[in-house]
């Protein structure tokens, strides 16, 4: 295979795609590198880098690959890619927009239902024989008709809002700006939003701008019957404050698909009955993987053929 078909793959968490990449390209597996200097020397001819939204492509990797011209992200998150730096070097960046929206929104609703109706506790009650012994579970809480707040009304946030509306929930949102064309109420102040609702769903982007956006003040405002759902990034929630709030009853429950130090989940979270834990699995569906593979492969082929990319970011995209 010619050197021009060399590519760097950043993570093994693309198993649905790796087989096709190895078939069509000479793959340099970054995660297998024992010595980075040697790895970069062998991979110096690589022009595309393929990664996902969690691992991204650190700036030092970009700078160590002199011929790189494309960072291809199998996902939508860009907080692990320095887009401005890449574009300054003339490197194109692509994502796979739209393919994860439905799955992430579905997961948010699944976590909400599981947390509110204590589905895992009920499952465990049957498996451990509690029900047969006549041991009743505590009463759970209804989801339908509750007041919900969404942090970040992007495409995923909008999809979540539509699903919550189908449960007759009253939806409000907060974000960088109001979206007047949307039918939901805009609340600019995060603490005020939390004070007015019963369910808070986090669907904002990650990165330093949103780090610990869900603070102790927000959690206290959410209150002892409040439920927090996070399908965004673990960094958006102050995890220590969340644990303390769950332990003390300052909030009622949480459903979490993301964590601060994945895959290391604090033992304190694992010990709590009022939290539902999911291993960053919102996008792990057969359908999303097929869609991601299709778009990534199309962008790679277009890049090597010198044709316009399918999903390239605008040249001056702001982070």
Report CA 186 to chain centroid distance, whole Å. 23
Active site residue 262: yes
Among residues 28, 198, 233, 239, the one annotated as catalytic is: 233
**In angstroms, rounded to a whole number, what is the distance separating the alpha carbons of residues 187 and 141?**
25
Among residues 28, 47, 163, 280, the one annotated as catalytic is: 280
| 76 burial type by CB count under 10 A (0-12 exposed, 13-18 middle, 19+ buried) | buried
DSSP 141-152: ---TT-EEEEE-
Q: In this predicted structure, what is the pLDDT of residue 319? A: 37
Confidence of residue 314 (pLDDT cuts 50, 70, 90): confident
* pLDDT exceeds 70 at position 72: yes
Mean pLDDT of 160-183: 98
How do residues 282-300 score in pLDDT, each as one tens digit?
999 999 999 999 999 999 9
Active site residue 42: no
Closest CA to 181 of 201, 161, 210: 161
Q: Residues 152, 205: contact at Cβ < 8 Å?
A: yes
Higher pLDDT, 75 or 171: 171
Active site residue 59: no
How do residues 101-147 score in pLDDT, each as one tens digit?
999 999 999 999 999 999 999 999 999 999 999 999 999 999 999 99
291 phi, psi to nearest 5 deg: -70, -45
How do residues 147-156 score in pLDDT, each as one tens digit?
999 999 999 9
CA distance to 4, 103, 107, 159, 202, per residue, from 114 (Å): 49, 16, 10, 19, 16
For 245, the token pair is 């709030």
Among residues 60, 128, 135, 262, the one annotated as catalytic is: 262
**In angstroms, rounded to a whole number, what is the distance separating the alpha carbons of residues 111 and 282?**
10
């Amino acid at each position: 295979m010619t050197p021009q078909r060399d590519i760097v793959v950043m993570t093994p968490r693309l198993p649905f795609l790796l087989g096709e990449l190895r078939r069509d390209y000479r793959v340099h597996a970054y995660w297998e590198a024992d010595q980075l200097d040697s790895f970069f020397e062998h991979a110096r001819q690589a022009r595309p880098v393929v990664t996902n939204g969690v691992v991204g492509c650190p700036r030092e990797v970009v700078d160590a690959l002199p011929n790189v011209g494309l960072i291809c992200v199998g996902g939508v998150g860009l907080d692990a890619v320095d887009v401005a730096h890449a574009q300054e070097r003339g490197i194109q960046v692509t994502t796979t927009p739209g393919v994860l929206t439905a799955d992430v929104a579905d997961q948010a609703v699944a976590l909400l239902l599981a947390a509110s109706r204590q589905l895992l506790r009920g499952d465990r009650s049957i498996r451990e024989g509690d029900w047969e012994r006549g041991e009743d579970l505590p009463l759970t809480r209804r989801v339908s008709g509750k007041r919900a707040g969404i942090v970040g009304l992007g495409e995923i946030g909008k999809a979540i809002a539509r699903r919550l509306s189908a449960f007759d929930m009253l939806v409000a949102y907060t974000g960088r700006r109001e979206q007047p064309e949307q039918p939901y109420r805009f609340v600019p102040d995060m603490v005020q939003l939390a004070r007015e609702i019963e369910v808070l769903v986090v669907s904002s982007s990650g990165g330093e701008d949103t780090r610990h956006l869900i603070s102790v003040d927000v959690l206290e405002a959410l209150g002892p019957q409040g439920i927090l759902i996070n399908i965004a990034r673990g960094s958006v929630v102050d995890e220590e404050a969340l644990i303390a709030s769950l332990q003390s009853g300052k909030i009622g429950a949480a459903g979490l698909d993301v964590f601060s130090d994945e895959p290391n989940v604090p033992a304190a979270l694992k010990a709590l009955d009022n939290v539902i834990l999911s291993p960053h699995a919102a996008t792990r569906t057969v359908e999303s993987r097929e869609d991601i593979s299709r778009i990534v492969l199309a962008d790679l082929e277009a890049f090597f053929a010198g044709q316009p990319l399918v999903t390239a970011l605008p040249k001056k995209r702001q982070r």
